[in-house]
Amino acid sequence: MKCFKPTLPLSLLIVLIAFTRLSAQDLTKQAAAAIKGEVKTELILTVTDVDKLPKTTIIQKDRADKEYTYSGVELGIVLKNAGVTMAEELKGKNLSKYLLVEASDGYQVVFSLAEVDPSFTSRKIILANRKDGYLLSPEEGPFHIIIEGEKRKPRNARQVISLTIKFTD
């Protein structure tokens, strides 16, 4: 029977493990997305905030045809909580507003507000913070836009850090 012999002193190894755990907890606390622009109340939405809101799940396949269950909150609910023009107010000039989703890697996606408003569509778009029950990895999170029934997936933005409401020019 072979014994594992660490190359680092045990005390240093313990400190590194503790630091790694603290860093993961700190990252979870800092994982957030700003909701800003043409809103009544700008918000900073954390992973914990999303866990407190009503959950919606969407099952989606990746490129290798493997199914995953994403859970989070419907994007329309998040925007409504920030006071974005929705439902009966979404008419006339307000229909020229759009949502700009920005990711930490610079990726951007645009949606009309009607696309994310449940009073206009039955298709679900969620701001997911969990995949198969676990928090999203740093490569995918803190948040991932998941669109139900989307044939192509380039608008399923990952690493979402900002949701900005704007008027078209």
Output the pLDDT for position 30.
58
- CA-to-CA distance for 47 and 104, rounded, in angstroms? 15
Average pLDDT over residues 99-107: 96
Structure confidence by residue, pLDDT tens digits, 104-148: 999 999 999 999 999 999 999 999 999 999 999 999 999 999 999
pLDDT value for 147: 95
Rounded distance, CA 124 to CA 149, Å? Answer: 8
**Token duo for residue 119:** 């009073």
pLDDT tops 80 at residue 2:
no
Give the pLDDT score at 10: 43
Neighbour tally for 32: CB within 10 Å: 17
- Pairing of the two strands 160-167 and 32-37: parallel
Question: What is the average per-residue pLDDT within 147-162?
Answer: 90
The per-residue pLDDT for 62 is 85
- What is the end-to-end Cα distance of the chain in Å, rounded? 72
What is the rounded distance in angstroms from the CA atom of residue 161 to the CA atom of residue 169? Answer: 24
Q: What is the pTM of this model?
A: 0.80
Could you report the per-residue pLDDT of 11-64, keeping only the tens digit for each?
A: 443 433 444 443 434 444 458 999 999 999 999 999 999 999 999 999 999 888
User: Quick count: other Cβ atoms within 10 Å of Cβ 95?
Assistant: 14
Domains, the chain, ordered by start: 32-167 (3.90.420.10)
**In the predicted structure, residue 4 carries a pLDDT above the cut 60:** no
- Res 59: pLDDT: 96
Determine the Cα–Cα distance for residues 156 and 159; give it in Å rounded to an integer: 10
Cβ within 8 Å of residue 144, ≥6 positions away:
70, 72, 127, 128, 129, 131, 136, 156, 157, 158, 159, 160
